[in-house]
Amino acid sequence: MEFFSTRNAEHKVSASQAIAQGLSEEGGLFVPAEFPAVDLAAACAMEYPALAAYILKQFLTDYKPEFLEQAAAAAYGEAFGGKAGHLEQVNENTWSLELWHGPTCAFKDYALQLMPKLLVEAKKNLGRTEHTLILVATSGDTGKAALDGYKDIPGVSIVVFYPNNGTSEIQRLQMATQEGGNVAVYAVQGNFDDAQTGVKRAFADKQLAAELAEKNVVLSSANSINWGRLVPQIVYYFAAYGQLVRSGKVNMGEKMDFCVPTGNFGDILAGYYAKRMGLPVGTLVCASNRNNVLTDFFATGTYNARRDFYRTTSPSMDILVSSNLERLLYHLGGSDAKVAEWMGSLNREGSYTVDEATMAAIRADFAYGCCNDDEQVAAEIKSIYEKDGYLCDTHTAVAFKVAREYCADHDSDAPMVVLSTASPFKFPRDVLAALGSQAPAGDFEAMEGLEQLTGVQAPVSLAGLRGKAERFTAVIEKDGIADVARNACEG
């Protein structure tokens, strides 16, 4: 399987190159040259690790099949407590695909427990011996998931930058207490986009690259623009379908819908890839929070990132530039030249407008909606808990609300699967307050309060953060990111 850039389809690379490189030279994202067809009946019968290996083998054709089998078994076994891709019925026609049973309690573990193994193997496949320095900008969940995935991986160091005061206290502590000899974490003055812009600048900094090259260090990214982040996420869409088929809720070949709480557009894009590979998906519903740049895009065809940025109770969706949308625009817009033009316009003017034919193609596969404020999110958490006895986090609640409205508007009886992207115990104060309890000032007290109120146990990896020593407390300016990178691999 070959991959090429969304902005230059001429330049083809192998899967190993796409994963080792991350972004293409002209700033495009790597996409697969084709969508391999999946044997649906076989896929539906597989356990999660075998299914993951099966999907990976379709795309990563220059990796040894035995390597992919071992990597998938190691990533999705014990680390997920036997609950990889677990589907839970919430009410008659709605399911929750619980993607937070991994080590850091967010869905990003699916990609980031596997991606470090894919990167090390890619370097081996390519005969590359440099040290890889991974820079990550995070709004909270990616950072911890990446730290956990890359800790003590040979030949790699990782530095994570998160917006100061932009994460929950639990998320901050997850990162500040990270173990491992090759990790570092910094808070950045500013919001997520400031941190991301700072990291992007460091990647574009030729002087920095030259200085690092002298030390045989090459920069790389773990953000969801890397193909290695995307491909593992295709797997759980198939896993969800397999569970519905095995439990008799759908017959093989019947469609189901998905609703995905969306930020950078990576998670939902993986669902689109699953559909193109033959999974019977009706509609992919894109759910946004108050930062509803995607909602407006789907409605109007204009993507306008020049707008107010809001901090919400679903911080991992507080994003104004949804990078992975570029891949969808390539697949449905049909030309690298068009994508290059749109992205040029986004860089220069902060917006672009897509032609009608492309928008029509997008609307055939996608629906959309948003929560206008945090009150709507809280009301949804409360209503699902009281009506259905199901406890969900703030991000998942955004999707439940949008899914509910979609189902009401479309009178569809296809099963609706909502992707549940984080454990409610990652955001315990907001969730407890949503349920109507006076939330205590501290996250750990709120965690206990939530346990007492609901009888649901907090994940050990979160409860265990209490009292753990903080290793990383530095706060830097956003233009200090390059200097951090410069010094990251000293001693």
Q: Which helix (H) or strand (E) holds 116?
A: helix 115-126
Q: Quick one: 286 or 488, whose CB is closer to ligand PLP?
A: 286
User: Does 316 interact with ligand PLP (rule: CB under 6 A)?
Assistant: yes
Task: For Cα atoms 78, 425, 167, give the angle at the middle one, nearest 5 degrees.
Answer: 105
| Active-site pick, 57, 64, 83, 108 | 108
Q: Quick one: 14 or 283, whose CB is closer to ligand PLP?
A: 283
- Per-residue contact string for residues 353-392; x = within reach of ligand PLP by CB under 6 A: ----------------------------------------
Q: Quick one: 32 or 482, whose CB is closer to ligand PLP?
A: 32
Catalytic (active site) residue 108: yes
Select the span of 202-210, 215-223, 236-244, 262-270 touching ligand PLP (CB under 6 A): 262-270
What is the β-pairing status of strands 256-261 and 217-221?
Answer: unpaired
Cβ atoms of 396 and 421 closer than 8 Å = yes
Indicate which single residue of 104, 125, 226, 264 sits in contact with ligand PLP (rule: CB under 6 A).
264
Residue 436, both tokens: 């109507």
State the Cα–Cα distance between residues 392 and 359, nearest whole angstrom: 32
CA 26 to chain centroid, in Å, comes to: 23
- Per-residue contact string for residues 131-150; x = within reach of ligand PLP by CB under 6 A: ----------x---------
User: Does 317 interact with ligand PLP (rule: CB under 6 A)?
Assistant: yes
- Per-residue contact string for residues 420-439; x = within reach of ligand PLP by CB under 6 A: -xx-----------------
Select the span of 4-12, 113-121, 259-267, 459-467 touching ligand PLP (CB under 6 A): 259-267
Q: Shortest distance, CB of residue 411 to ligand PLP, whole angstroms? A: 27
Q: Quick one: 63 or 272, whose CB is closer to ligand PLP?
A: 272
Q: Quick one: 14 or 223, whose CB is closer to ligand PLP?
A: 223
User: Does 261 interact with ligand PLP (rule: CB under 6 A)?
Assistant: yes
- Per-residue contact string for residues 8-47; x = within reach of ligand PLP by CB under 6 A: ----------------------------------------
Indicate which single residue of 7, 86, 101, 108 sits in contact with ligand PLP (rule: CB under 6 A).
108
State the Cα–Cα distance between residues 205 and 227, nearest whole angstrom: 23
State the Cα–Cα distance between residues 240 and 44, nearest whole angstrom: 9
Residue 336, both tokens: 């690298």
The footprint of ligand PLP on this chain (CB under 6 A) covers a number of residues equal to 16
SS3 of residue 343 by DSSP: helix
Q: Shortest distance, CB of residue 268 to ligand PLP, whole angstroms? A: 6
Q: Shortest distance, CB of residue 437 to ligand PLP, whole angstroms? A: 22
Q: CA-based Rg of the chain, rounded to a whole angstrom? A: 21
Cβ atoms of 12 and 33 closer than 8 Å = yes
Q: Quick one: 98 or 121, whose CB is closer to ligand PLP?
A: 98
Q: How far is CA 341 from CA 11, 233, 297, 322, 330, in A?
A: 18, 28, 17, 17, 11
Q: Quick one: 7 or 108, whose CB is closer to ligand PLP?
A: 108
Q: Quick one: 134 or 259, whose CB is closer to ligand PLP?
A: 259
User: Does 226 interact with ligand PLP (rule: CB under 6 A)?
Assistant: no
Indicate which single residue of 94, 262, 283, 292 sits in contact with ligand PLP (rule: CB under 6 A).
262
State the Cα–Cα distance between residues 311 and 194, nearest whole angstrom: 13
Other beta carbons within 10 angstroms of residue 255's beta carbon come to 15
Indicate which single residue of 109, 193, 267, 430 sits in contact with ligand PLP (rule: CB under 6 A).
267
Q: Shortest distance, CB of residue 87 to ligand PLP, whole angstroms? A: 17
Q: Shortest distance, CB of residue 457 to ligand PLP, whole angstroms? A: 20
Please, what sign has the CA dihedral across residues 277, 278, 279, 283? Answer: positive
DSSP bridge pairs for 187: 162, 475
Cβ atoms of 57 and 118 closer than 8 Å = no
Closest by CA position to 486, among listed 217, 246, 281, 273: 217
Cβ atoms of 96 and 384 closer than 8 Å = no
Q: Shortest distance, CB of residue 394 to ligand PLP, whole angstroms? A: 8
Q: Which helix (H) or strand (E) holds 350?
A: none
* Residue 272 identity: Y
Indicate which single residue of 113, 224, 226, 292 sits in contact with ligand PLP (rule: CB under 6 A).
224
User: Does 265 interact with ligand PLP (rule: CB under 6 A)?
Assistant: yes
List, as one string, the DSSP characters of 446-467. HHHHHHHHH-PPPPHHHHTTTT
Closest by CA position to 291, among listed 316, 272, 258, 267: 316
Residues shown for the chain: 491
State the Cα–Cα distance between residues 204 and 199, nearest whole angstrom: 9
Select the span of 54-62, 174-182, 199-207, 264-272 touching ligand PLP (CB under 6 A): 264-272
The catalytic residue positions are: 108
Chain residues in the site for ligand PLP (CB under 6 A): 106, 108, 141, 224, 261-267, 316-317, 395, 421-422
